[in-house]
């Protein structure tokens, strides 16, 4: 298949050179670029697409999201983002109950996701008693926006084999980190067809909002199978790299699967581990206590020695490793574990299949940045967090907050970066993420990154974290024809308005998968 996309504006992002007016695509690859004023090829067998003078950018790749889970959440859980009162929370949950057709006495679960206690009246957590009042006749579980804390009513605790009790530092009914597992496990599992529908919807949604690909964190084997079923049917509109949890490592090894295996549209990526929790739930592990709650410094998910052993196991098995690390203490422990694992491989004359990567790297200092650069460890970062976590200066204090979401510091320090949303924690929206990396909130304006560099971080940066030395995406003959057409020119748009630029078209493998 040969297509010429003409009447466009293609700027060589991050490089010198003239704008291009058209791009010729053959069999999913860029074959040629034409300068402004140069006639585009025409003839039998060439399909022409007129872009109407719109701007074309390299296809953004979301390097950290929970795509299939997002699709399932949209179909099963009440959207609690932005609720500011218990009354509003109650209304949304009861409306969702009605939409699903839940009836008194049927015993079915009621689920919600996305609340942030910081937005609630007085910064108050909803508790188990509140949820008992909302749903006295059924198990109810609501998950905080970060996914690192939940609130469950009495019926949900009993379904999980637990007795309601107050976790230290939280009101009754709140559970965090590993303590949430029994409640999650008690919720009835979706069917295979449910997962396929959720995955199909989420992939189409990613294309609609301007992503040509994602690195998707996988919760279990059922999510992975849903994507594999879609890929086998040729039904994936975007490219997906799956990041399985550590719990699936032995199963993947038994099937002789390794990082990089797969097809042109679906590949196996890094094995995911956790080092700590979240800043929003105060479970991210800090070196010093939280400024707004000196009673805690957060928590490490594993003792340092255990984390190091798990990282070694992943690397020794031939997989890439990625570790969720948010607080500076967790960053320190994670870098220690990665360095130990890397040195073990090197001592055996072996090399990494792809760079070790840290998911989030939210609180850093110069020493941590230098270590990441020296070791070649990259980070998948989330620009939208800087706005959502408006409370960061109070939580971390005026000195420590300088290293919070310090994207420019990481970038200028030579750390390989990839951009992402962490959807459903933040909206799945390419231009929102890009715009908020360029234009920072008032509490950290100096950590913004220029537009050209941001576009590279969201395209070439995502490929670099996958281990590509020469990114397959971007501009130039032989590169993948994965790009996005914008309805406004971002270089002529004020930084604060970038996130509002509409997506006109998403092209993957030379095919229009959204818009026209």
CA atoms within 13 A on the CB side of 454: 26
List the domain range (segments joined by +) for residue 30. Answer: 2-53
* Shared domain check, 382 and 313: yes
pLDDT band at 16 (very low <50, low <70, confident <90, very high): low
Task: Return the CATH number at 92.
Answer: 3.10.310.70
pLDDT tens figures, 289-321: 999 999 999 999 999 999 999 999 999 999 999
* Shared domain check, 178 and 209: no
364 within some domain: yes
Q: Which residue has the higher pLDDT, 105 or 23?
A: 23
pLDDT tens figures, 144-181: 988 889 999 999 999 999 988 888 889 999 999 889 99
* Shared domain check, 495 and 385: yes
427 within some domain: yes
The strand ranges marked E within 105-253 are 110-115, 140-144, 149-152, 174-176, 213-217, 239-243
* Shared domain check, 255 and 369: yes
60 within some domain: no
Q: Has residue 498 got a pLDDT over 90? A: yes
* Shared domain check, 170 and 115: yes
Task: Return the CATH number at 378.
Answer: 3.20.20.140
**How many structural domains is the chain composed of?**
3
pTM: 0.90
Residue with tokens 């993957």: 508
Q: Measured on CA atoms in the order 509, 513, 514, 516, is the torsion positive or negative?
A: positive
* Shared domain check, 165 and 24: no
289 within some domain: yes
Segment among 12-16, 165-169, 327-331 with least mean pLDDT: 12-16
265 within some domain: yes
| Residue at which a domain ends, from 186, 206, 224 | 186
Residues in Cβ contact with 442 at an 8 Å cutoff, skipping those fewer than 6 apart:
none
Q: How far is CA 503 from CA 56, 61, 467, in A?
A: 10, 14, 28
């Amino acid at each position: 298949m040969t297509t010429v996309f003409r009447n466009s504006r293609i700027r060589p992002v991050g490089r010198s050179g003239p704008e291009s007016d058209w791009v010729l695509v053959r069999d999913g690859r860029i074959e040629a670029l034409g300068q402004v004023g140069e006639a585009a090829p025409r003839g039998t067998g060439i399909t022409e697409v007129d872009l109407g003078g719109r701007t074309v950018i390299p296809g953004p790749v979301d390097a950290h999201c929970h795509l299939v889970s997002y699709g399932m959440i949209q179909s099963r859980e009440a959207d609690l983002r932005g609720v500011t009162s218990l009354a509003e929370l109650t209304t949304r949950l009861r409306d969702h109950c009605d939409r699903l057709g839940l009836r008194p006495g049927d015993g079915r679960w009621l689920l919600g996701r996305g609340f942030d206690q910081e937005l609630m009246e007085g910064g108050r957590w909803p508790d188990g008693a509140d949820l008992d009042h909302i749903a006295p006749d059924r198990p109810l579980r609501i998950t905080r926006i970060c996914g690192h804390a939940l609130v469950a009513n009495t019926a949900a605790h009993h379904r999980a084999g637990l007795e309601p009790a107050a976790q230290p530092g939280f009101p009754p009914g709140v559970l965090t980190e590993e303590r949430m597992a029994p409640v999650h496990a008690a919720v009835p599992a979706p069917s295979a067809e449910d997962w396929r529908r959720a995955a199909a919807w989420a992939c189409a949604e990613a294309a609609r909002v301007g992503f040509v690909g994602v690195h998707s964190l996988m919760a279990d084997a059922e999510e992975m199978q849903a994507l594999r079923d879609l890929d086998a049917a040729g039904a994936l509109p975007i490219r997906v790299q799956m990041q399985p949890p550590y719990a699936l490592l032995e199963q993947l090894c038994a099937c002789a699967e390794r990082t990089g295996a797969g097809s042109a549209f679906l590949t196996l990526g890094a094995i995911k581990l956790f080092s700590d929790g979240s800043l929003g739930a105060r479970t991210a592990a800090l070196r010093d206590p939280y400024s707004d709650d000196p009673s805690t410094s957060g928590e490490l998910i594993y003792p340092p020695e255990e984390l190091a052993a798990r990282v070694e196991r992943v690397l020794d098995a031939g997989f890439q490793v990625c570790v969720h690390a948010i607080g500076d203490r967790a960053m320190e422990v994670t870098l220690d574990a990665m360095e130990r694992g890397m040195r073990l491989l090197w001592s055996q004359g072996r090399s990494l299949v792809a760079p070790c990567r840290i998911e989030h790297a939210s609180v850093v200092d110069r020493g941590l940045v230098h270590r990441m650069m020296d070791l070649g460890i990259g980070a998948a970062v989330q620009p939208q967090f800087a706005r959502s976590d408006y409370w960061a200066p109070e939580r971390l204090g005026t000195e420590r907050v300088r290293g919070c979401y310090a994207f420019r510091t990481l970038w200028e320090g030579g750390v390989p970066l990839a951009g992402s949303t962490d959807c459903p924690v933040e909206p799945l929206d390419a231009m929102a993420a890009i715009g908020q990396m360029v234009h920072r909130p008032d509490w950290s304006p100096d950590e913004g990154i220029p537009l050209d560099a941001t576009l590279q971080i969201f395209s070439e940066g995502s490929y670099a974290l996958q281990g590509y030395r020469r990114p397959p995406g971007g501009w130039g003959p032989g590169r993948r024809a994965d790009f996005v057409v914008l309805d406004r020119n971002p270089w002529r748009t004020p930084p604060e308005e970038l996130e509002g630029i509409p997506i006109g078209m998403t092209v993957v493998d030379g095919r229009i998968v959204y818009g026209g």
